[in-house]
Amino acid sequence: MNVTNALELHRAVAAEVLPEPSLHIAGSAVTSTDRGTLDRIDPTTGQLLASFPIAGEREVDQAVQAARKAWPAWRRMAADERRRILWNIARAIEAHEDELNKIVALETGVPLAVGGMAMAIDHFEYYAGWVDKFEGVLISTYPGSALDYVKYEPYGVVDVFVPFNGPIPNAAMKLAPAFAAGNCVVLKSPELSPFGVMRLAEICREAGLPDGVLSVLSGDKETGQAIIRHPDVAKVAFTGGGAVARSVMAVASESLTPVVLELGGKSANLIFEDADLDAAAQMAAMMSAVMLSGQGCLFPTRLMVQESVYDEVIERVAAVTTSATIGDPLDPNALMGPVISEDAADRILSMVDAARKEARVVTDGERIDTDLGGNCFVRPTVLADVDNTSSIAQQEVFGPVLAMMPFKDETQALGMANSTEHGLAAYVHTNNLKRAHRAADGLVAGWIGVNSFPPMAATAPFGGVKASGFGREGGRAGIEEYVYQKTSTSRFPRSEQGSRGVVMETSGRAPRLGLRAVPGRSTC
């Protein structure tokens, strides 16, 4: 396909599926603001995809106030009605799956063959079932009769940030549990992929989500900070890089707004000599340097192989990466598209150039001229004999780059794997069951895969430790991020007191308000 044909195809698909660039506030589309617009360049063709409005403080306040207005009715809605709405959203995403995949392919370069909507559907289905499953806790009390119980309460208005590399699945991971718990959400869309979540907002409304429960604001750093600083925002959920996360925490700390952070990783992947080398090498190569063009926070980008099979695994990994079909993400046969932007390609290639001085180049990453017009295609890079303390081994590249290094034994492998500031995911390949369990226990990370790259099912908690963030998405832990516990205690008179009133517990001080004191007890 030449440049002219690629441009024609992308323009035709954009005209078919791209939503009108707008902010979504209380069910209304806002197409212009005082702050102007931002441009989104199609990473495949290098041409303007569309311009979209930047939300300012006025639009932020409108969205938050709409959420505050919608919240009382939403949190009190009958559980079966709210459950039905979440289920309907899952069905609506399923019905629009092809359309959403095309939008994401245009704005991010993720191939149609990769998709990702199944994860979004899974999360809305799963958390639809949680709407009526939160059970309170009855607390045993002493020294007298009392009813002491705990309820789970929604925060109110939640601010959600999603990353560019999987905007719709990542949005679903946050929206579904937040809605199920009874919260309203103001979502800040990614600057590099705003259109998928714009369409998601429309789909949610069409599926019956009441106006104000979800608003989607596009914009820049200033927009995001304005949302966090709004006094009616009760919690922030952020997925992205560590540098931006520190900024988010700094702004949230001004008002002590709680945050949940899912951040980057530099995940280790351990292959022992007794592993299925074909399967292990296939997973290692595809899920680090091919899938999503390496732009995944939990990808196994540090490959550590036992010395006895090290050279053999290098050959297998190289064969996989060099055979990957790279091309137009709208081509159903393409497994790998461009990286998100030209700036990202420059940064990735700069890191590869620096690593060449110290590591052995197995497959040489370089910019690819695909005849599609864009300048964002980067060939997969495999580097061997990497020093585990080097920048390429310690810093998240977020691109199609795999760093390989040998290890002697299990003890050294675990030590190398854990010697990073990150702790999002880790992987181990072995047919020794005892070793598998020992390694999973010894790896310091929140997400462990044994002989596989496990699917991010909605049923399982996902999140990191150390510089990879805190808090969890998925499972019961995921919905608990969007509620707080409220304890209510009601004390009753003892039978011998008659109807005089409750017992006041003091430290032997004289009773006040005519209530009998119980020596040795204090109320505060």
pLDDT tens-digit profile, the chain (524 residues): 567 788 999 999 999 999 999 999 999 999 999 999 999 999 999 999 999 999 999 999 999 999 999 999 999 999 999 999 999 999 999 999 999 999 999 999 999 999 889 999 999 999 999 999 988 889 888 777 788 999 999 999 999 999 999 999 999 999 999 999 999 999 999 999 999 999 999 999 999 999 999 999 999 999 999 999 999 999 999 999 999 999 999 999 999 999 999 999 999 999 999 999 999 999 999 999 999 999 999 999 999 999 999 999 999 999 999 999 999 999 999 999 999 999 999 999 999 999 998 999 999 889 998 889 899 999 999 999 999 999 999 999 999 999 999 999 999 999 999 999 999 999 999 999 999 999 999 999 999 999 999 889 999 999 999 999 999 999 999 999 999 999 999 887 665 444 444 444 434 343 343 333 444 444 44
Answer whether 449's CB lies under 8 Å from 287's CB: no
pLDDT score recorded for residue 495:
56
Residue identified by tokens 């940030």 is: 161
Distance CA 344, CA 36 (A): 25
Distance CA 102, CA 111 (A): 9
Domain with CATH 3.40.605.10 in the chain: 3-29+64-262
Residue identified by tokens 């596009």 is: 218
Question: In 385-503, where do the E strands start and end?
Answer: 401-407, 425-429, 447-450, 469-470, 483-491
Active site residue 505: no
Residue 99 Rama label (left phi>0; alpha psi -120 to 50; beta): alpha
Report the CATH number of the 268-463 domain.
Answer: 3.40.309.10
| Catalytic annotation, pick one of 59, 262, 473, 481 | 262
Distance CA 302, CA 284 (A): 9
Distances (CA, A) of 357 to 71, 207, 301: 57, 55, 19
pLDDT score recorded for residue 493:
65
Rounded to 5°, angle at Cα 400 from 398 and 404: 100
Distance CA 445, CA 427 (A): 10
Answer whether 98's CB lies under 8 Å from 104's CB: no
Residue 361 Rama label (left phi>0; alpha psi -120 to 50; beta): beta
Per-residue 3-state assignment (H helix, E strand, C coil) for 305-327 = EEHHHHHHHHHHHHHHHHHCCEC
Helix (H) or strand (E) holding 107: helix 97-108
Domain with CATH 3.40.309.10 in the chain: 268-463
Cis status, amide bond into 143, omega within 30 of 0: yes
Residue identified by tokens 């196994």 is: 300
- What is the DSSP secondary structure assignment for residue 495, as one 8-state letter? G
Neighbours of 61 (CB within 10 A): 16
**How far out from the chain centre does Cα 17 lie?**
24
Helix (H) or strand (E) holding 30: strand 28-30
Distance CA 325, CA 320 (A): 10
Question: In 421-523, where do the E strands start and end?
Answer: 425-429, 447-450, 469-470, 483-491, 504-505, 517-518
Answer whether 212's CB lies under 8 Å from 70's CB: yes
Residue identified by tokens 């998405």 is: 473
Neighbours of 186 (CB within 10 A): 25
In terms of Cβ atoms closer than 10 Å to its own Cβ (0-12, 13-18, 19+), residue 48 is exposed
Distance CA 440, CA 483 (A): 30
Find the DSSP H helices in 324-364.
342-356
Residues facing 188 on adjacent strands: 161, 217
Q: At what angle do helices 97-108 and 167-181 cross, to 10 degrees?
A: 130
Distance CA 233, CA 218 (A): 17
Active site residue 524: no
Secondary structure class of 508 (helix, strand, coil): coil
| Catalytic annotation, pick one of 297, 376, 410, 473 | 297
- Which amino acid is it at 362? V
Answer whether 289's CB lies under 8 Å from 258's CB: no
Report the CATH number of the 3-29+64-262 domain.
Answer: 3.40.605.10
pLDDT score recorded for residue 234:
98
- What is the DSSP secondary structure assignment for residue 377, as one 8-state letter? -
Distances (CA, A) of 223 to 51, 156, 256, 281, 302: 16, 20, 19, 43, 35
